[in-house]
Amino acid sequence: MINPVRILSDVQLKKLKEHKYSSSCQSLLDPAMQIFWNWIVEFVPLWVAPNLITIVGLFVNIFTSLILIAYCPTATEDAPWWTTSLCAVGLFVYQTLDAIDGKQARRTSSSNPLGELFDHGCDSLSTVFVSLASCCAVQLGRYPGWMLFQCLCASTLFYCAHWQTYVSGTLQFGKIDVTEGQLVVVCVMLLSSFSSFFNLDIWATSLVLISLNQVVTLFGAGCGLISMITPGGTIDKILNGGAGKSGSTVAGTSVLSPASPLLFVILPAWVIAYRSDEAVYHDQPILYTLMFGLIAAKITNRLVVAHMCKSEIHHRDPALLAPMMLMINQYFSTVVPEKWLLSLAMVWVVVDLLRYCGGVCLEICEYLNIFLFKIPYPPPTITNSSNGETSQGATSTRQRKKISRS
């Protein structure tokens, strides 16, 4: 029997097993939200696997986003008020479950490198769908260039956050980061719901030279740009924060090595959109933006794997064949209708993403001898350091609180 092609080498798996999670957080809202998250996690049964919490949150987020997108196929429609309200709830549920999965891992003594990778992989997908849903909520499709900019900007910021992690070895959150951004999106969704319920068109309101939905886009992009260019920001950490030899990445490679995969996504996205004879992007903005968002999610996942395995980031990726097909087709005067080719490219990207993510998870599970969505129950014996007593499985409420907050 022919063995399937492996994604991770033995060296990568060995280094991943030795990987230790490192992060620092200066977020303004995280301290307050931690109180809520520590309270919520106490209601989760100890037999529930952390990765199961993460995937449930992701499915809720994607499902509610797809409902909104279904009512706004061009991001110009006024969606029913309940769709944006549902999106706000879905994003808040995802944020909450995404925040407590690590706490659940510590409560159940089931922390492992796969949990970190799985969490970041789900975050990369969530970023794509939240960006699209936000565009639909504020009807940004009325300005196609702004919509493409907003979605690519979100994926770029997420990629750069893990780029600096690959360089410095530590995932660092700024004062205004993921938590604040997600709560702003929740507020935008609720404002859209209010506008739709009372038949108002607030997003088209003109403020001097631009509309309100453009202001929201500029505000988000501006916050991201500030976090990138300020001293001690993302760019500074990438260029000067190398944890490897002579200021290199954790893998000993150039700090600029992750730039090419990102450029291979951003540049073709703009070139194909505005060189198209059939206006493929303007005709199908959701499908087009979703395809490039998923490609960005794929290269981000590969960057996370490279960081955790301390390995070189490769510049070639099967997902990049999708934009290449569209560019070649344009070069030869659109031999194949771009609408058909875009659909085919989307299928290729989805299959490749599922193949990669599924393959990596299965290989890690096999190597670490763990399950993806199941953990040993009851939890391992917990020792009371003060008197040497142990308890098996039936951990007291006071002990569980101590573990979840450690």
Mean pLDDT score of the chain: 89
Question: Which residues carry out catalysis?
Answer: 120
Please give the pLDDT value at position 384: 41
Q: Which residues of the chain have pLDDT under 70?
A: 1-4, 380-406
- Residue range 265-300, pLDDT digits in tens: 999 999 999 999 999 999 999 999 999 999 999 999
3-state DSSP assignment of residue 382 = strand
96 with 40: CB under 8 angstroms?
yes
Cβ atoms 330, 272 nearer than 8 A: yes
pTM for the model stands at: 0.91
229: Cα within 13 Å, side-chain hemisphere: 6
Q: Do the beta carbons of residue 120 and residue 56 sit within 8 Å?
A: no
Q: What is the pLDDT of residue 173?
A: 83
Token readout for 311 is 């390995």
Q: Measuring CA to CA, how many Å separate 341 from each of 98, 264, 280, 353? A: 35, 19, 10, 18
Tokens, residue 8: 């991770």
User: Residue 171 is inside which H or E element, if any?
Assistant: strand 171-173
pLDDT number for residue 381? 56
d(Cα 245, Cα 188) in Å, to the nearest integer? 45
N-to-C CA span, the chain: 47
Please give the Cα distance from 264 to 262 (Å, whole number): 5
The confidence score (pLDDT) of residue 4 equals 61
Say what the pLDDT of residue 405 is. 39
The per-residue pLDDT for 380 is 67
